Structure 1
Amino acid sequence: MAHKLPAEHLKRLEQLKLIEAAGGGHQLTPLGRQRYNELPRPAALATDGSPREIEQILANVIRSRQI
């Protein structure tokens, strides 16, 4: 099952130039990739940079900023 971010979150990420439409979905822009790489991670957490992992991290960041 594919995980989807709410449309308003996608729109905001596009406005911030962090993602762009690509191949029926979205991908990180160079700025988005830079910001993603700058996110803090626990030392023991290995990241593979997969779209699912990136989507989860972005969802967590968006959720934390709304609190």
Structure 2
Amino acid sequence: MARRGGELEAFIAFLGGLLAVTLTAVAMTVLHVMPRPEPPLRAAALVTLGVVWLTVTVTLYLRLRARPDGRTR
């Protein structure tokens, strides 16, 4: 039976992106980038976190998306 949609893949990709952002934020905190930085550095850190989340989420979704024959990439 073929499964349609992509809700499971989207949810897994969302969680993967969330995990990547969390790990990146922890790494930034350890490197003292996040705690009380200057405004430009804080803005750059937030942009970096946004880019990491978007990139990982889209990449995971595209990798997990089911092919028409039922296989994954």
Tell me if both proteins adopt one fold, taking TM over 0.5 as the criterion. no
- Interval containing the TM-score (normalised by the shorter chain): 0.3 to 0.5
Structure that is richer in strand per residue: 1
Larger radius of gyration: 2
Q: Of the two structures, which has the highest relative contact order with CA contacts closer than 8 Å and spacing of 6 or more?
A: 2
TM-score by length of 1: 0.33
Structure that is richer in helix per residue: 2
